[in-house]
Structure 1
Amino acid sequence: MSSLPPDPAAAFKQQAAIQAAALVQDGMAVGLGTGSTARFVVAELGRRVREEGLRINAIPTSIATRTQAQEEGIPLTTFAEHPELDIAIDGADEIEPTTLNLIKGLGGALLWEKIVASIARQFVIVADASKYVDHLGMHCPLPVEVIPFGWESAAHRLDALGAQTTPRRLRDGSLFLTDEKNLIIDCLFPPMTNPDALAADILNIVGVVEHGLFLHMATQTITAGPDGVKVLTPKPR
């Protein structure tokens, strides 16, 4: 069906994705993530639909994922029909293993991803083992989605929180637009010791729609690497 892009860690991502897709059972309503690892999940679920007769209904977290799901023959549903989901499976850009707190959104779909994750009884993260960090913000910027009007002011206020901000752009220099036609400001923060406080401060900025901190949301992470597959669940708070 749909082709998958080359990726240095593709074998590990696919290994984790297949194990996560095995959690999906007949009759479930499923949230489909976005990104290079999530593409493997969608491909595996499509295979199960075609070859095993798996019956599911899915809500995608981006136009790209919607297109792939349709190509794979996965039936799609709506929030009106399924205001709650049994499971959502998605990737992550950074994972804090002690808390399963995440940074997501480098793929530009953080708003739809967070909406879907927030209504899922299980929120399962799949990734290669390189995504683990001691503290969020060690290796990648935090994406913040803002409306286009006045985005420069929002960026200025993010700078005041200690970020080095860069509006995300396409290769031709134009501003990147999300599926909701918003902008993304990538924010380099020092490694985060109190992400909950930072998340609240960011959401207090007028014009911010959502941020890529997914805190206390993941119910399980499945990662694969040279040492095999690792499954983690959150430690008690």
Structure 2
Amino acid sequence: LIKGGGGALLREKIVAAASARMIVIADRSKMVETLGRFPLPIEVNPFGLRATEIAVAAAAGRLGLSGPVTLRMTGSQPFVTDGGHFILDASFGRIPDTRALSNALHAIPGVVEHGLFIGLASAAIIAGDGVQTVHAARKPGSSTEHDVA
């Protein structure tokens, strides 16, 4: 699951981790079989931004991922999260090993949090054409996880 596109990903993850159950509600257009269709938001400290951006790209490269890592902007200014941080949008394409990427990103000084919500959702309700489908969460470590952004 990738979340946090709206810039509240740190707070969303804190709430999700503290909750007994997390149920994701989305429409069918947000579903993919493998993560990477949507950019991965990475919340970063403004101090050392360029060094953090370089470290994120290097960590992704070590995992065989590539693609632009761009600072999210609002007009001519960096977008600022609820926590006063910046967002890097990482367009790596297909992300086959979400856990490895999560661990690599968490090891980078300057990365506050990222939008990979691994093992936090207990169910997903997907709406489309008036039909709702409930999906039980996949077990952690599953080779295929859904991306609901």
TM class by shorter-chain length?
0.7 to 0.9
Correspondence 1:106 to 2:5: yes
Summarize the alignment of residues 219-230 of structure 1 with structure 2, pairs less than 5 Å apart: 219-226=122-129, 228-230=131-133
Correspondence 1:136 to 2:35: yes
Residue 3 of structure 1 is matched in structure 2 by none
Q: Which structure is higher in RCO with an 8 Å CA cutoff and minimum separation 6?
A: 2
For structure 1, the 5+ residue unaligned runs are 1-101
Q: Secondary structure of the residue that 2:56 maps to in structure 1?
A: helix
Summarize the alignment of residues 131-210 of structure 1 with structure 2, pairs less than 5 Å apart: 131-138=30-37, 140-160=38-58, 161=60, 162-171=66-75, 173-210=76-113
Q: Secondary structure of the residue that 1:202 maps to in structure 2?
A: helix
Correspondence 1:121 to 2:25: no
In structure 2, give the amino acid aligned to 1:128. D
Deviation per CA, 1:43-64, whole angstroms, max 9, x where unpaired?
xxxxxxxxxxxxxxxxxxxxxx
What is the rounded CA distance, in whole Å, between the counterparts of 1:195 and 1:121 in structure 2? 23
What is the rounded CA distance, in whole Å, between the counterparts of 2:22 and 2:14 in structure 1? 12
Counterparts in 2 of 1:230 and 1:208: CA distance versus 1, 3 Å: same
- TM-score norm. by structure 1 comes to 0.55
Q: CA deviation at 1:113?
A: 0.1
In structure 2, give the amino acid aligned to 1:203. H
Counterparts in 2 of 1:108 and 1:235: CA distance versus 1, 3 Å: closer
What is the rounded CA distance, in whole Å, between the counterparts of 1:156 and 1:129 in structure 2? 34
What is the rounded CA distance, in whole Å, between the counterparts of 2:18 and 2:2 in structure 1? 18
For structure 2, the 5+ residue unaligned runs are 61-65, 141-149
Q: CA deviation at 1:174?
A: 0.3
- TM-score norm. by structure 2 comes to 0.86
RMSD of aligned residue pairs (Cα, Å): 1.2
The answer (yes or no) to whether the contact 2:119–2:139 under 8 Å persists in 1 is no
In structure 1, give the amino acid aligned to 2:57. D
Counterparts in 2 of 1:170 and 1:116: CA distance versus 1, 3 Å: same
In structure 1, give the amino acid aligned to 2:102. A
What is the rounded CA distance, in whole Å, between the counterparts of 2:16 and 2:67 in structure 1? 26
Q: Secondary structure of the residue that 1:111 maps to in structure 2?
A: helix
What is the rounded CA distance, in whole Å, between the counterparts of 2:40 and 2:85 in structure 1? 16
Summarize the alignment of residues 9-158 of structure 1 with structure 2, pairs less than 5 Å apart: 102-138=1-37, 140-158=38-56
What is the rounded CA distance, in whole Å, between the counterparts of 1:137 and 1:236 in structure 2? 19
Q: CA deviation at 1:123?
A: 0.3
Deviation per CA, 1:104-133, whole angstroms, max 9, x where unpaired?
111000000000000101100001111110
Give 1 or 2: higher helix fraction.
Answer: 1
